[in-house]
Structure 1
Amino acid sequence: MSLTKIFNGKILTPHRVISGGCLILEEGKILEVSEKNIEVSNALEIDASGKYIAPGFIDLHIHGGGGFDFMDGTEEAFLTIAETHVKYGTTAMVPTTLTSEKKDLLKTLDLYETANKSNKKGAQFLGMHLEGPYFAMNQRGAQDPRYIRDPDPEEYQEVLAHSSSITRWSAAPELKGAIEFAKYLKSKGVLAALAHTDAIYEEVLEGFENGYTLATHLYSGMSGVTRRNAFRYAGVIESAFIIDAMDVEIIADGIHLPAPLLKLIMKIKGPDRIALITDAMRAAGMPEGDSVLGPLKTGLKVIVEDGVAKLPDRSSFAGSVATADRLVRNMMQLADVSLLDAVKMITLTPARIMNVHNQKGSLVAGKDADIVIFNENIQIEKTIIGGRVVHDALNVK
């Protein structure tokens, strides 16, 4: 059937809830959004049974899930991660790398191209996010220090020439050559994001003016107020708050950022400038226990407990195991955010940041039919991508 009708639910728009309305889908697109349950002949009907009908969740920053990492070096890794996260409402994602040898990075980019063509059952790919290697050593976090360095024009120009799938690249704006790097990214239509950085306000502002318009996982891997020769300087965190037009992404797993910080970010930046991200590693969607951060063969051994990955000695967090549904739930329960705003931060706002808001991010006629149906507890019942049901919790095989 070319037509699909979703009815008897609460349709979430960026501004209101439409109770008792319906969606008509045709050929992978939203044909009509109605406040009434209109009659449609010869349509596949999906009864939402009073649950919420929302745009599909968009994850801007994700490393893995289902036991795999995008740096594992296999097409299976890409496909399994994409298929794992649709169970939690993610309909589109930006696969993310870790700092690595150039040959491994280029291989991962090639695998993206292959996997993107064969990805039929998982979340859609919106291009690759390269996280590193141009970082401040002091803010490297779990990034491998062997590969951290200043931006090298010969290197990044080669990487960008190698693959057209790169849509964002995170770096530290204070590094030598980082401003020229951002300008080059902008000339190629690639989003520059600041990350793993020890910059102060003046450096952040210069970076923002030249393309660093997104703060990667705010609070994680970045400077706050610092002192130099007895004088205080605002760090990246304060800069992200001061610069109204800067977008921020946050790991809203409730652990990387506790409730007071989630509330603070929400109070200052608001839902139009905040994107919720999982930043998930391979253990997302898996039982707790031993795991590996980064490539399976060469990555860092970690232990997953209390809903987060930790170093084996439990001295530090070592990665997120969040899923998209958990992010929405946490923003509502921990940060007192409304359902509409929580959903916006994982739909329309990330769609705008990645410049796909004309196709995704809200339930509007003409946009892609990427839809999730969930209950009051944000438990996902159905995930629909391009008009096709790719996950149905009531009919799991």
Structure 2
Amino acid sequence: MNTLLLRDARLVQDGCITPCDILIRGQNVESILPARSGAAADCVRDLKGLYVSAGFIDIHVHGGGGHDFMDGTPEAYHGASALHLQHGTTAMLPTTLAASADELLRAFSVFEQCRDAFPDGAKLLGLHIEGPYVAPSQAGAQDPKYIRNPDPAEYNMLLDACPHILRWTVAPELPGAMEFGRELKRRGILPCIGHSEADSDTVLEAMRCGYSHITHLYSATSTIVRVAGFRHAGIIESAYLYDGLTSEIIADGCHLPAPLLQLAYRHIGPRRLVLVTDAMRAAGQTGGESILGSLENGQRVILEDGVAKMPDRTAFAGSICTADRLVRTMVTMAGASLPDAVQMITETPARLLGLDDRFGRVEPGRAADLAVFDHTIRIAMVLRDGAVRYEN
């Protein structure tokens, strides 16, 4: 098998930055050696002190490169996954929107066709189903006409149709949502709380039914409300209060201002906090208009100020960012150390999904899925399964 030596790298892992050489044999990391070790290899690439980390893992992403996964075509999966790979993402969960059962089934079918089809794109680990079982009052960019309560006949049919659903975002206060959470947990799928107006008591009940993760904290999530003079905590407060919950944030620098990024980083911390793009098809673009969701039934959105907005500008409609921007934002706006920022998009999401035995770290025997970047977190090179798939 061919060998590749990444010489004079700085490995970002385990809370520190370690000068090293990384020897790759075939698709896997073979060893991590002292810097400028002099090890022989078929090909030697001198990184001259560039940072190397495990490839980024985006567990909430709708599209990119002009494509949305709800387009339901192989071209969409290829285009979106290739765009995000160029920004350091080597694994992702394509994410759906609220839709009819037939449209979801079509999305599942295309995912199965594409799961292992595109070596120049991020690995498609499984699906994240966002909606249709969400609160109308917290719909955000979800199409209200497709929002409904969990129905066992429907969701069991959908679950049976696709064995690669890894997470599902639900409003736990909806009728039937607690039973749905238990069914997801029974099937080994991560039940997530999102697009919800649940209070903290409902969150606690949901946790007992298997829910353990909060989808895009601060976005379409409840906070303190006052009822008959009494204050009730919401999802946001629960994220800080309950150690059994993990949370994700859209750290694009638009969805959350610096104080909220800092608050989440300092008080939830890198072991319980995940960075996600929540990117829609316009990821990588800077202006104009686009479509959120499928081209056939999607929502028109406006691109301005570095984010996608609903046409009336009353709400954001997903981000247009990429994973490298998430890391950069956490370092520059939240004051996170580089190792902590990287952990939140490598090790922490891998552990959340139960995939940390294979993904999220650079270790001998694991696939050589690597992101190489400079001190400004600009991507210089991306490797997938030991092959250089992108180089700037």
Normalising by structure 2, we get a TM-score of: 0.98
Match of 1:195 in 2: 194
Residue aligning to 2:288: 289
Alignment of 1:147-226 (within 5 A): 147-226=146-225
Kindly provide the amino acid, as one letter, of the partner of residue 165 in structure 1: H
Q: 2:41, 2:133 → 1: CA distance?
A: 55
Which letter does structure 2 place at the counterpart of 1:16? C
1:73 Cα deviation after fit:
1.6
Map residues 56-71 of structure 1 onto 2, 5 A cutoff. Answer: 56-71=55-70
Please list the CA deviations of residues 71-119 of structure 1 after superposition, one character each: whole Å capped at 9, or x if unmatched: 0121100110000001110000000000001001000001001111312
Give yes or no for contact 2:286–2:304 (8 Å, CA) kept in 1: no
Provide, for residues 324-372 of structure 1, a one-character-per-residue CA deviation record: whole Å limited to 9, x for no partner: 0100000010011100100100110011011111111111112221101
Residues 1-397 of structure 1 correspond to what in structure 2 (within 5 A)?
2-19=2-19, 21-393=20-392
The secondary structure found in structure 1 opposite 2:115 is: helix
Q: Distance in 1 between matches of 2:118 and 2:208?
A: 37
CA distance in 1, matches of 2:316, 2:200: 27
State how far apart, in whole Å, the 2-side matches of 1:249 and 1:43 are.
Answer: 41
Q: CA–CA distance in 2 between the matches of 1:357 and 1:117?
A: 20
Partner Cα distance (1:304, 1:270) in 2: 31
1:287, distance to aligned residue in structure 2 (A): 4.1
Give the counterpart letter for 1:201 in structure 2. Answer: S
Question: Which deviates the most, 34-43 or 61-70?
Answer: 34-43
TM-superposed CA distance for 1:190, in Å, is 0.6
Deviation for aligned residue 1:315? 3.0
Mapped partners of 1:207, 1:170: distance in 2:
12
> C-alpha displacement at 1:11, in angstroms?
1.2
- What secondary structure is seen at the aligned counterpart in 2 of 1:49? coil
1:31, CA displacement in angstroms? 1.0
RMSD of equivalent CA atoms? 1.1
Paired with 2:234 and 2:135, the residues of 1 have a C-alpha distance of: 13
Structure 1 residue identity aligned to 2:6: I
3-state secondary structure, aligned to 2:32 = strand
Does the aligned pair in 2 maintain the 1:14–1:362 contact within 8 Å?
no
Q: Is the 8 A contact 2:290 2:300 kept in 1?
A: yes
1:282-314: CA deviation from partner (whole Å, max 9, x where unpaired): 000124211111111221111101110112333
For structure 2, the residue ranges without an aligned partner over 5 or more in a row are: none
Equivalent pair of 1:29/1:366 in contact (CA under 8 Å)? yes
The share of aligned pairs that are identical, in percent, is 45
Letter in 2 for 1:17: I
Distance 1:49 1:289 in 2: 39
Are the counterparts in 2 of residues 18 and 35 from structure 1 also a CA contact under 8 Å? no
Instruction: Spell out, residue by residue over 1:206-231, the C-alpha distance to the aligned partner (whole angstroms, 9 max, x if none).
Output: 11122111100001011100122221
Residues 42 and 256 of structure 1, relative CA distance in 2, 3 Å threshold? closer
Amino acid at match of 1:211: G
Matched residues in 1 for 2:6 and 2:85: separation?
A: 19
Which secondary structure state, in structure 2, belongs to the residue aligned with residue 112 of structure 1? Answer: helix
Q: Deviations over 1:29-67 (max 9, x none)?
A: 111112243334342212112111111010010001000
1:132 corresponds to which letter in structure 2? G
Letter in 1 for 2:84: H
Residue 114 of structure 1 aligns to a residue whose secondary structure is: helix
Aligned residues of 1:347 and 1:361 also touching (Cα < 8 A): yes
Question: Structure 2 CA distance, aligned partners of 1:44 and 1:168?
Answer: 40
Unaligned runs of 5+ in 1: none
Aligned residues: 392
The code of the aligned residue for 1:163 comes to C
2:212 is paired with a residue whose SS is: strand
Q: Which amino acid aligns with 1:30?
A: V
**Cα shift at 1:262:** 0.3
CA displacement at 1:171 relative to structure 2: 0.2
Q: What's the secondary structure of 1:138's corresponding residue?
A: helix
Structure 1 runs of 4+ with >4 Å offset: none
Deviations 1:17-36 (A, max 9, x none): 112x1111123111111224
Per-residue CA distance 1:186-242 (angstroms, 9 max, x = gap): 111111100111101111011112211110000101110012222110001001111
Decide whether aligned partners of structure 1 residues 123 and 168 sit closer, same or farther in structure 2, where only a CA change above 3 A counts: same
Please give the TM-score of this superposition, normalised by the length of structure 1: 0.97
